[in-house]
Amino acid sequence: MRGKQGGRNDYPSRREKLHAIDERTGAPAARVKEKAQSMNELPFYKMTGCGNDFIVVDNRAGRVAAQDMPWLARKICRRKMSVGADGLILVETSTRADFKWRFYNSDGSEAEMCGNGGRCAARFAFLEGIAGKTLAFETLAGIVHAEVLGDRVKLRMPGASDLRQGVRLEVDGKTVAVDCINTGVPHAVIRVEDIDRAQVVPLGRPLRHHGAFQPLGTNLNFVQRTTDQRIAVRTYERGVEDETLACGTGCIASALVLAAAGEVRSPVDVLTRGGEVLTIHFRQEGPVFTDICLEGGAWCVSRGALCEGALR
């Protein structure tokens, strides 16, 4: 079509539309639109475990392709702009367990394990008839076993590793003492006298990116021992890049670090920032921990289907 002066008008041609670039993603705009359309009406559960909230999708039919999972997580986990959540869980088929999961943080990064997310995935699988009350599922951290106890789930976690005590780090000209342990994902633990005054973001953010933890980074937990068998924990989560209301693997890490120092013993009740309590069970022989379990509530708060607007 020509304008009055014989030149092209300002409307893009079909070829230009196909080769346009989406400014927000850097991907071809046509491909982004195609992905959004393919996931229109995709069913999901919204679930919460101690204040950690997740979008759970039954992907056993493979509707969400592996290469699209990080993109989908970034899109639908946006709060106020989409469904909103701390992470995305995709339940898939497995030849080694009742099901396999893929877990993505809200920034699109894939994580090996998430304790509260694992409890939600287990209850989802039970509610949907994918597995019975006693079940196992495949993760990047190994096979995880769980037991559904009504609206509570007891999750048997992979063994803890890489315990390092009294690590001293320089942050903004100050020396900070942390204890480190891997409970499926890496964690560092800092003791505080007043959990309400803990500098979770101001201190957690630079430590999360500290050179001592590169290239993967770490999660930061601030812990206060309140009674002989009770602690309070606040966590700065890698991938979410902010404080969350709870972190299951962080609660485990905090309990094990204090147990290694002889300050608590199993079981340990953990008060989360969301006000709910998780219970950590474990066996201990010196610095070695086995039979680690995370127990707490896991609830479905809503069910729905995605619209294209959630993926714009």
Q: 23 vs 20, 26, 193, 244, CA distance in Å?
A: 9, 6, 47, 30
Q: Which two tokens stand for residue 236?
A: 């700065």
CA–CA separation, 222 and 38 (whole Å): 42
First to last CA, the chain: 30
Residue type, 83: V
Q: Which residue in the block uniquely carries the two structure tokens 């986990």?
A: 77
3-state secondary structure 199-260: CHHHHHHHHHCCHHHCCCCCEEEEEEEEECCEEEEEEEECCCCEEECCCHHHHHHHHHHHHH
Which residue of the set 50, 77, 120, 247 is catalytic? 247
Residue pair 303/42 in contact (Cβ under 8 Å)? The answer is no
Q: Is there a catalytic annotation at residue 114? A: yes
Residues paired with 169 in a beta bridge = 176
Q: Pick from 268, 253, 292: which is nearest to 146 by CA?
A: 292
Which residue of the set 77, 114, 120, 180 is catalytic? 114
CA–CA separation, 230 and 269 (whole Å): 5
Compute and round to an integer the Cα radius of gyration of the chain.
Answer: 22
Q: Which two tokens stand for residue 63?
A: 């509707």
The DSSP string of 58-125 is E-TT--S-GGGHHHHHHHHT-TTTSS--SEEEEEE--SSSSEEEEEEETTS-B-S--HHHHHHHHHHH
- Residues with catalytic roles: 114, 247
